[in-house]
Structure 1
Amino acid sequence: MGKWICRICGYVYDEEKEGKPFADLPDTWVCPLCGADKGSFAPEKEEAPKPPAASIQITEEMKQLSVGELSALCSNLARGCEKQYKDQEAALFRQLADFFDCAVPAVPDADIAKLSALIQGDLEEGYPALRGAAQQVSDRGTQRICVWGEKVTNILNSLVQRYQREGEAFLENTQVWVCTVCGFVYVGDKSPELCPVCKVPAWKFEKIEGRG
């Protein structure tokens, strides 16, 4: 009997305490704290993979951000200003984020499979490369961003996989909540009392409206 740990929120499934091996849980079982699926758990003794050595080379493509990337950047800067109680600066960055968001073009042939592939790419290549580069130059700020960002991306990956398995039934008679601080997404009747990633209280969550 061992223990399995959620990579997203840190919840521990203790097989001895629960009286049931983790492998015997149904595929539909999810983390009782953050809602992640079984695939987001790892054995307690599993060592975290070492990030590959990486170097950042600025290319012409990296010098010009898309309007979607600019929107995300300004939104993150707004949240950073909020945490430093710089309300005026936060409001200006939110205005910029909204401006760029309105200019984002529609993605042709967008579907859930393509979204899943993009998320997998971030988890398998993007975050390891970014973390490795940040460690090389001792950039603690970027390393902290990786901690939150990777957890949020992992829960998105988990939710997308559940949607692929269950379809629209996954979202019937429930709500979708987003943490306005770190971007954690939660599916349930009400938001968590504390965000499993950044630990802010429930009032920091916003309910996603307009789902048809």
Structure 2
Amino acid sequence: MKTYVCSVCGFVYDEAKTGIPWEELPEGFTCPLCGAGKSAFREQVPAAPAAPPPPVEPSHRELSAMELSVICSNLARGCEKQYQDQAAADFARLAAHFRAQAGPAPQADVPALLALLEADLNRAYPQANAAAAEDRGARRALVWSEKVTRMLQYLLERYHQEGPAMLEHTGVYVCTICGFVFLGDAPSELCPVCKVPSWKFEKAEGRGM
């Protein structure tokens, strides 16, 4: 009998315990903890020696105003969590400044977004993990970030298939600590990724929600 591990939250599906082979589960099966689909599960096998990460290719392009706004917004949130109020306010002002300089966002293209997520999972995370090998805090942040990215990949794949109907009659909640996205009436008691309580989730509001 085999076991399969959710790459988002770590839940283990054990064929021996359930009595149901993985292949016989319906395609609509989702992780009971985080809601990720079957595509997020990986068969649990003995760990093989890690392959060396691809070489880092430094980019010298100038960041766009929107990219700078996002970076400053993330830094503001990080400073807020560390109770560095002045730094958080400064980064928030910078984020607002760059956001005002940015042009209108292009229409979202789901296949393009999926390609970017695939590139992050296949190249960016292995490179970042190699660079952060000696930094425990950075490694933890990368673990959380990669799990959230896999959840976003699953949700985008669903949206690509189902369209806007996927968001009808359901809430969208985002963990303010790690970024995990939950679809449903209310988030679980603990975030499946970073384990903070549900009151750390914020309901996302926007077009079609």
| Large movers: runs of 4+ above 4 Å | 54-59
Q: Aligned partners of 1:57, 1:161: CA distance in 2, in Å?
A: 28
Per mean C-alpha deviation after superposition, the further-off stretch among 70-79 and 102-111 is: 102-111
Q: Aligned partners of 1:120, 1:59: CA distance in 2, in Å?
A: 19
Q: Aligned partners of 1:21, 1:94: CA distance in 2, in Å?
A: 50
Q: How does 1:1-212 map to 2 (within 5 A)?
A: 1-45=1-45, 47=47, 50=50, 52-56=52-56, 58-61=58-61, 64-108=62-106, 110-135=108-133, 138-212=134-208
Q: Aligned partners of 2:76, 2:49: CA distance in 1, in Å?
A: 32
Instruction: Report deviation, 1:23.
Output: 1.6
User: Helix, strand or coil: the match of 1:187?
Assistant: strand
Q: Aligned partners of 1:103, 1:46: CA distance in 2, in Å?
A: 50
Native 8 Å contact 1:54 1:130 kept in 2: no
Q: CA RMSD in A?
A: 2.2
Q: Aligned partners of 1:99, 1:49: CA distance in 2, in Å?
A: 46
Q: Aligned partners of 1:154, 1:59: CA distance in 2, in Å?
A: 24
Unaligned stretches of 5+ residues in structure 1: none
Native 8 Å contact 2:54 2:123 kept in 1: no
- The sequence identity of aligned pairs, in percent, is 52
Aligned pair count reads 208
Q: How high is the TM-score relative to the length of structure 1? A: 0.87
Instruction: Report deviation, 1:7.
Output: 0.8
Native 8 Å contact 2:72 2:94 kept in 1: yes
Cα distance change of structure 1 residues 108 and 81 upon mapping to structure 2, 3 Å threshold: closer
Native 8 Å contact 1:116 1:157 kept in 2: yes
User: Helix, strand or coil: the match of 2:132?
Assistant: helix
Q: Deviations over 1:115-151 (max 9, x none)?
A: 111111111111112212333xx23343233211111
Q: Aligned partners of 1:5, 1:101: CA distance in 2, in Å?
A: 39
Q: Deviations over 1:144-190 (max 9, x none)?
A: 33211111111100101111222222211101111111111111111
Native 8 Å contact 2:73 2:91 kept in 1: yes
1:38 partner letter: K
User: Helix, strand or coil: the match of 1:191?
Assistant: coil
